[in-house]
Homo-oligomer: A and B are copies of this chain.
């Protein structure tokens, strides 16, 4: 029943293909990375005619499994030059899955300068010229498409940043409240922009839905799985109460909250921007402290943040965004950060890359540290309008560093380093260095075990055990990213014995197969190896699996430690 939908933007044609045998058992990241690896020449220009943009729901997306609604998007990244997988919540994964769309592959570039919109139904894809929405923000796109096609229509869209092919442009996905979730990292919005696709609208009307091979087994496993999520202190309590922003105070306490462009590990004004403060502010202003990015999410780490007058400002207000503009840029006002978050969603830029980039721009003297209003103005007036300065900033952290000759540039493989200082949380440095995606905390979230005591404890200030920790987590994450599951299911999976077997049982019940835990581990290993082989063919070597040298030479307060792994120790990561 499952099909591959394939769109050629050069010929402006679309077709529906059978699923090749070797893709049949794959979903999410495993599938997008396999397709990119098989069909995209690794040395091609990421914005040129030979790159492809691939969307695939996870193996469990569309089922009743809790937290299984993540869509994977893959391509060669214009930011990193590596293979890229970025997954997002929203409604599209479940719509695709219920329509039997195993993957949507978009190839080629239009011959003319026109813009297009794609419309996806269970019959296939239609391509239509678009002019009204060009230059518009993502919120306007969603609103207009709902007005055109109805409230239930799914939307994946790029904002002005994607139209300008900026390296930090993301792809936004409509969530159940018509707000925005993002395929954030790696500039995938630029790839969509290069193909001159402003949006992809999705009409799942009449979708056949998912067939479950063993419904009883599935139901039982799904219940055990959901209970594990709710029983875990982080997934069932910390995240729903404070959102991911619960981490501000935790990381500040640990001395691992990168502050003032990674020059120190604690932020004096951390209380102003903490999850606790945010929670109280949301309650006081009548927002929502809990909110799911997709139907079936029971962790509800998202929230709705209102302004002083109780008017909606943003949702999905993440720790990484708040850390990045807060501690890293020294902005002390949650309201400024929330306003910036809304603008970033509308422009379609990755809030992590943007925040890390602003830290470097501040170091370069483009604007002062702490200038929240300056950030808002630059987002709107420079990046949004594509001025020369906006183009510089829109190129991301590494680009700003190169433009101004800054040497303290926190990137790996040109992607901005997120919200955890590798010097004081050593395990995450291994993940940043070795991830096939460039610096990416989600690729192997050692914070769980280094800081949150999830899955045991590995001392964040010692080197012992970090490589193994990162390796195990990266393998597991690559597998989880293939199921359509949210990464936060890893917390209960690491701590509650019934959780992972229940997840595997759901996959087995869904497809009528008999995967073991080892099979899942092997899937994760295989995904990482496919991705690494792509990167190697694109020219990446062990020399790219390194943190910027300043982490070796500049000790970070309060622990006054450097990141001291040798090249040989880092390279141990790939021994599996």
Contacts and interface: CB of A to CB of B under 8 A. Distances in A.
A82 to B, nearest CB: 12
Interface in A534-550: 536-544, 546, 548-550
A407 B45 contact: yes
A384 to B, nearest CB: 15
B402 A167 contact: yes
Contact of A388 (B167, B389, B539): B389
Contact of A546 (B43, B49, B167, B541): B43
Interface residues of A, number: 44
Contacts of A553: 49
Interface stretch (A87-95, A391-399, A517-525): A391-399
B405 A549 contact: no
Contact of A395 (B403, B544, B548): B403
Q: Is chain A's binding surface mostly helix, strand, loop or mixed?
A: loop
Interface string A405-428: 101010000000000000000000
Interface string A25-67: 0000000000000000111110111100000000000000000
A291 interface: no
A549 B407 contact: no
A279 interface: no
A51 to B, nearest CB: 10
A404 interface: yes
Contacts of A405: 47, 78, 164-166, 190, 193-194
Contact of A50 (B42, B49, B538, B549): B549
A399 B78 CA distance: 13
B392 A403 contact: yes
* A190, A387, A541, A544 pick with most chain B CB within 10 angstroms: A541
Given A47-B405, A541-B539, A549-B45, A391 B391 contact: no
Contact of A407 (B47, B167, B536): B47
Nearest to A403: B391
A374 to B, nearest CB: 14
Interface in A200-231: none
Nearest to A50: B549
Interface in A448-469: none
Contact of A387 (B388, B402, B536, B538): B388
A539 B542 CA distance: 7
| Interface-central residue, A389, A403, A404, by most chain B CB under 10 Å | A403
B388 A48 contact: no
Interface in A77-131: 78
A44 B543 contact: no
A550 B42 CA distance: 15
Given A47-B407, A50-B549, A42 B165 contact: no
A50 B78 CA distance: 29
Interface in A549-572: 549-550, 553
Interface in A112-158: none
A60 to B, nearest CB: 36
Given A47-B407, A194-B405, A399-B399, 9 more contacts: A41-B549, A43-B546, A45-B549, A190-B405, A193-B405, A387-B388, A399-B402, A539-B541, A540-B541
24 contacts: A43-B543, A43-B546, A45-B407, A45-B548, A47-B407, A48-B550, A49-B553, A78-B405, A165-B404, A190-B405, A194-B407, A387-B388, A388-B388, A388-B389, A388-B392, A392-B403, A395-B402, A399-B402, A399-B403, A539-B540, A539-B541, A539-B543, A540-B541, A541-B541
Interface of A: 41-45, 47-50, 78, 164-167, 190, 193-194, 387-389, 391-392, 395, 399, 402-405, 407, 409, 536-544, 546, 548-550, 553
The 5 A-B residue pairs with the shortest CB-CB distance, nearest first, are: A165-B405, A539-B543, A388-B389, A388-B388, A48-B407
